[in-house]
Amino acid sequence: MTATLDWLGCATFRLSLGKLVVFLDAYIDRVPAAEPIGLAVDEIDRADWIVVGHSHFDHLYGAERIAKATGATIIGSHETVRVMEAQGVPLAQLMPVAGGERVRLSPDVTVSVFPSQHSCVWSHKKMSQADEVCVGDLGVTHQEQQQRMAELAKWFGELGPDVLAHLAASAQGPRGDGGALVFLFETPEGRLLYQDTSGHWSGIFRDLRPDVAILAAAGRGNIDGEPIQGSLARFVAQQADLLRPRRIVLSHHDDWLPGFSRAIDVAPIREELARSCPRSELVEMGYLESYPLFKGLA
Ligand SMILES: [Zn+2]
C-alpha cells in the first residue's frame, strides 16, 4: 500500500491508501476568483469515505455530490449529517460521530474521532498574517461571541456579487459549525492526524502521536476554548510541540475566498517550527501533487 495525499485547496484533501479513497472535507468548487485547483466535484468518480471536520460550507459543500456520485459514506458531526440528509444523501451513507469512535474504513485502516475546537472567527474582522501577534479577547462569553459573529456576517454582505452568489449556493440552509472534530488515521504505513480548523483541546492533543499531522493554519487559534495569546505561527508550533509529528502538512492557508480569506505567508510558520520543533519536517504542498505521505519515515 502506498499512501498518497492530494491537497484540493482550503482544508480539503484526498487520501489514497492503496485502493481505498478517503476525502478529508469536500470543499473543492470555489468562487471564480480563487486559484483553480485543477479538479471539480463533478469529475470525482471514486470515493469510499468522506470525513468532515466541521459543518461550515468551506468544508462540507460538495460532500453531498461526491457521496451521491460514488456511494461514499460521510463521517461527521450530527450537524454535518443533518445538513447532508437535507441535501438528499441517503441515511445509509451517513455516519454521525461526536468523538470517541474508532471506525474501520478497510481491513487494515481505521480512523479515530476526537472532539476539537473551532478557530476564534469571532475575534477578528480580517484574517491576520501568520506573524501578527494577537492578544486579549479572553473570557468572552458564548453570547458575546455570537454577537461579534453577527457583525462579521453583516460585513460579508459587502463582498462582490460572485462571492455572494457562491455563498448563497453553498449555504445549504442554516447551520452552526456542528462542533469541530479531529481524526487520527491508523494505516499499515503510519498514523495521520487531520485537523481542518485552528483549534484543539490540549489534553487530547498531547496524547496523540501521529507520524504526519495536517494542521490548519488560518485565523486565530483556539486553545481549550480561549484565543491564543500570540501569532498563528506560534499556535501551529505549539500544536506541533504537543503532537511531535515527524512531518507537518498545512491546511486552510490558501486564498480560498478572495476578499475574505488571504494567502497566509508560510515563512513565519516555517521559522517558528524550525526554532521550536526542529525534528518536524514541514511539507509545503501544492494542489494535486500526490505526495507520498509516509515516505522515508519507516
Ligand atoms: Zn469553519
Q: Report whether pLDDT(6) > 80.
A: yes
% pLDDT > 90, the chain: 76
Task: Find out whether 219 and 119 touch, Cβ atoms under 8 Å.
Answer: yes
Backbone angles phi, psi at 205, to 5 degrees: -60, -35
180 CA to middle of ligand 1, Å? 8
Q: Report whether pLDDT(157) > 80.
A: no
54 CA to middle of ligand 1, Å? 7
Which cell numbers in the block locate residue 83?
Answer: 445538513
182 CA to middle of ligand 1, Å? 13
**How much is the pTM?**
0.95
Helix axes 267-276, 232-243, angle to 10 degrees: 40
Question: Which helix (H) or strand (E) segment is 199 a member of?
Answer: strand 199-200
Please give the Cα distance from 47 to 119 (Å, whole number). Answer: 28
189 CA to middle of ligand 1, Å? 30
Q: How big is the CA angle at 152 (ends 146 and 153), to the nearest 5 degrees? A: 90
175 CA to middle of ligand 1, Å? 11
118 CA to middle of ligand 1, Å? 7
pLDDT at residue 103 in the model: 98
pLDDT at residue 176 in the model: 86
> Who surrounds ion ligand 1 at CB < 5 A?
56
User: pLDDT, tens digit, for every residue of 123-132?
Assistant: 876 677 888 8
pLDDT at residue 167 in the model: 85
pLDDT at residue 130 in the model: 83
115 CA to middle of ligand 1, Å? 15
User: pLDDT, tens digit, for every residue of 206-232?
Assistant: 999 999 999 999 989 999 999 999 999
56 CA to middle of ligand 1, Å? 5
Please give the Cα distance from 95 to 113 (Å, whole number). Answer: 12
Using CA of residue 123, residue 124, residue 127, residue 130, what is the dihedral sign? negative
CB neighbours of 193 closer than 8 A, spacing ≥ 6?
182, 183, 184, 185, 208, 210, 212, 213, 214, 215, 243, 245
Please give the Cα distance from 159 to 263 (Å, whole number). Answer: 17
Kindly state the DSSP code that residue 38 receives in the 8-state scheme: S
Q: What is the mean pLDDT of residues 53-78?
A: 97
Distance, C-alpha 118 to centroid of its chain: 10
114 CA to middle of ligand 1, Å? 17
203 CA to middle of ligand 1, Å? 22
22 CA to middle of ligand 1, Å? 20
pLDDT at residue 162 in the model: 84
103 CA to middle of ligand 1, Å? 24
Please give the Cα distance from 297 to 284 (Å, whole number). Answer: 17
Q: Share the mean pLDDT of the chain.
A: 93
pLDDT at residue 71 in the model: 98
Residue entry with cell 454577537: 147
